[in-house]
Amino acid sequence: MAKITLDAIDEDIKKSKGLPNHHYVSKKVFSLETEKLFYKQWFGVGFGRDIPNPGDIVPLKFLGIPILLVRNHAGEINVFENVCRHRGMVLLEKKKNTQGLIRCPYHSWCYSLDGELKATPHVGGIGVNFHKGLEKKNLGLFKIKSHLFLDVIFITLSEECQSFEDTHKELFNRWADYKKPLFFQKKDSEFELKVNCNWKLAIENYCESYHLPWVHPDLNTVSKLEDHYNIISKGNFSGQGSKAFAQMRDEKGKIFPSFSNISSKWDHTSEYISLFPNVILGVHKDHIFSGVLVPKNEKKTIERFSIYYSKKDSLGETFNSLRHKNAKFWKNVFKEDINVVEGMQKGRKGKYFDGGRFSPVMEEPTHIFHKWVANQLKF
């Protein structure tokens, strides 16, 4: 069996190999990657649309950690560890909307939606609700750094990690045109896929356009392979773009309104980017989509997607059929990929597979992801 080191990945793409099999099948590597590729980075955990209203709270377990996504009464997003500062009870198990506070089910310590500890009933004895040894102001919920970008809620557990803006300055500049309000329609603009593969394979596959004519033949009729270009970053994202983008039309030829004040460059351009580690994004002049990959274990991933429109009008009844058509189109594209990402997962059980090779012309974006992974693991 060939032994591959991570250095073999850092090579020039003409010589470079991909990540070795154990990065896809080993539980041990999965937990190492959880530490280094997630906890130390900014990673996506959900969407703003998961908590659309003030007072909405969603508990979730992401890569093992219990967290709360909260929209406070002023409408701002907070992320907390879902653990009571008293005896470490998980605070909430089910999502809810509240006009009040978060009450721990164990001894009823109560926290505001900004995380402050507000009440500690009977803590000083029956009917005495404070004690000088317990300073409420030091016992608020542990707040997790978060940032909303294209409606994805990103968090980091690292103290040293730069701000999200600094980490992703390159992409911010590239997509400055899309720093706009987004409009979301719950009933037809979200979907979820369960895939039996390591989360990295979904990212790798999304990065490149090499597979389009084979896996998405329909897509290839509207947007041919030669219309695509690679998107290469200095570090933490990569992807592909199309120079033949054409807006989708309904039976009557109607199109969605476009984002306001957007450069004419986007008239025929669309771009698709994997933001490392686990977020995939696509932008078009009239809608965008965001996807969060939720790794369940080393060989199971849930892909959650949302589609957002440029104008409130696009959510109206006159666009019902077009929205439906658009959602169906994207869901179908991502479904078509399931067979290949699951197939690559099965292939990682091979005894001889050695990380494989990349097309030097077509797969620089995938290579960039592998290099990113290898480099993060070195530290």
Partner 1 sequence: MNKNTRYIIDVELAEAFDIGDKKKIVDIYSRQGFIDLKEGQIKRGFFLITQAYIYALEEGLSEASFLFETLQKAGREK
Interaction site with partner 1 (CB under 8 A): 98-103, 108, 110, 118-119, 121-122, 126-130
Q: Which of 5, 96, 106, 318 binds ligand FES (CB under 6 A)?
A: 106
Q: How many residues bind ligand FES (CB under 6 A)?
A: 9
Q: Is residue 197 helix, strand or coil?
A: coil
Task: Give the nearer residue to partner 1 in terms of CB position, either 55 or 257.
Answer: 55
Which of Fe ion, partner 1, ligand FES, none does 104 bind, CB closer than 5 to 8 A by kind?
ligand FES
Which of ligand FES, Fe ion, partner 1, none does 127 bind, CB closer than 5 to 8 A by kind?
partner 1
Instruction: Report phi then psi at 9, rounded to 5.
Output: -85, -30
Radius of gyration from C-alpha coordinates of the chain: 23
Which of ligand FES, Fe ion, partner 1, none does 106 bind, CB closer than 5 to 8 A by kind?
ligand FES
Would you give the DSSP letter of residue 226? Answer: G
Binding mask 248-287 for ligand FES (x = CB under 6 A): ----------------------------------------
Which of ligand FES, Fe ion, partner 1, none does 129 bind, CB closer than 5 to 8 A by kind?
partner 1
Does residue 104 bind ligand FES (CB under 6 A)?
Answer: yes
Q: Where are the alpha helices (DSSP H) in the chain?
A: 7-10, 22-25, 27-33, 164-167, 169-174, 199-207, 212-215, 217-222, 320-347, 364-378
Task: Give the nearer residue to partner 1 in terms of CB position, either 99 or 138.
Answer: 99
Phi-psi region of 115 (alpha: psi -120 to 50; beta: other; left: phi over 0): left
Q: What gap in Å lies between CA 254 and CA 352, rounded to an integer?
A: 53
Q: Which segment (26-34, 99-107, 130-138, 200-208) binds ligand FES by CB under 6 A?
A: 99-107
CB of 53 to partner 1, least distance (A): 14
* Three-class SS of 19-88: CCCHHHHCHHHHHHHHHHHHHCCCEEEEEHHHCCCCCEEEEEEECCEEEEEEECCCCCEEEEECECCCCC
Instruction: Report phi then psi at 81, rounded to 5.
Output: -70, 135
Task: Give the nearer residue to partner 1 in terms of CB position, either 125 or 253.
Answer: 125
CB of 284 to Fe ion, least distance (A): 16
Which stretches does DSSP call E strand in 108-236?
A: 110-111, 117-119, 143-149, 152-156, 190-195, 228-232
CB of 69 to ligand FES, least distance (A): 20
Does residue 111 bind ligand FES (CB under 6 A)?
Answer: no
End-to-end C-alpha distance for the chain, whole angstroms:
27
CB of 326 to ligand FES, least distance (A): 45
| Chain length of the chain | 379
Distances (CA, A) of 19 to 88, 260, 314, 348, 362: 38, 42, 42, 10, 18
Which of partner 1, ligand FES, Fe ion, none does 84 bind, CB closer than 5 to 8 A by kind?
ligand FES
Residue 360: name the closest of 11, 24, 23 by CA. 11
Q: What gap in Å lies between CA 377 and CA 276, rounded to an integer?
A: 14
Q: Is residue 338 helix, strand or coil?
A: helix
Beta strands 279-283 and 270-275: pairing type?
antiparallel
Which of ligand FES, partner 1, Fe ion, none does 337 bind, CB closer than 5 to 8 A by kind?
Fe ion
CB of 86 to ligand FES, least distance (A): 3
Using CB under 6 A, which residues numbered 75 to 94 contact ligand FES? 84, 86-87, 89
Task: Give the nearer residue to partner 1 in terms of CB position, either 54 or 66.
Answer: 54
Q: What gap in Å lies between CA 208 and CA 301, rounded to an integer?
A: 19
CB of 123 to ligand FES, least distance (A): 9
Which of ligand FES, partner 1, Fe ion, none does 140 bind, CB closer than 5 to 8 A by kind?
none
Which of partner 1, Fe ion, ligand FES, none does 103 bind, CB closer than 5 to 8 A by kind?
partner 1
CB of 160 to ligand FES, least distance (A): 30
Task: Give the nearer residue to Fe ion in terms of CB position, either 298 or 337.
Answer: 337
The residues binding ligand FES (CB under 6 A) are: 84, 86-87, 89, 104, 106-109
